[in-house]
A and B are shown apart, each in its own frame.
Chain A
């Protein structure tokens, strides 16, 4: 059980896809203008990445290494289509809002990376948990960025007004430059945080 928790939790902080691995920065910049969008995108990616890890792991012994990438892409595309159709059916407004970025999930680096690095070498259950952890870390990062951007760029969170009319929304947070600056600072903060965790682990004599 401890082993599974380790696999899951490393995706949250120490190997956070956005803040540490710096993979899939594109959606982190593009769809985090509001919390709802960020959350939907995070959950979609979590779904896709864990299902894909599961499938890749199940078929890992039958896939010829020479054609592995096309096969990963086929698998990811299938799952993304499922997710897309689900969203279209049950949340058409969100589907419209996320637009092209939903289809772009197919080529997110983090999904391909986890299939290649973890799922193709591990058994199905750990692979699924790894995908779920990475997805959760991705969602966490998206949420942090999304909350800050919506709060300062629009004065709201989840559409509810938090900062009153006295606050003149700073549009830079809604636009790309604000996202770049913000993610830069968050990466810095994350580095300080994870360095502390690693230090604490080292003091306890655990391997990192």
Chain B
């Protein structure tokens, strides 16, 4: 497998890997590092890449594990990930929207969820994976995923309603 074939192979899910990493690691730079790391790992396995029947799921699982490792080592070092680069280098879509404020709220609320729920929200509500695929990535059964996802969505709703009616009631 040469480089061009490999790039074509990864391009459909490269951004998904990046967004999942960004969801977990928060910072754009770290997410980029994570994406590179995962892709280089895949590239180093290129000989038997064709034997995997779902490379995308493998890549997403690798990303998840890599991010967890990163978070673990961060916590071991007693370092908090600094939330100073919420704003992307690219012009954000929410700039065009009136309610950019409430979108940032959603981001903050999701970031406060446990990591496992963040992953599920990311995979389902953002990337729109089928439950079957999510099950492969996170190694859970579909029912457990549905239950957890419902919990996560309700938590988001709860926090949203609280902030929405803040100062009114």
A binds B: no
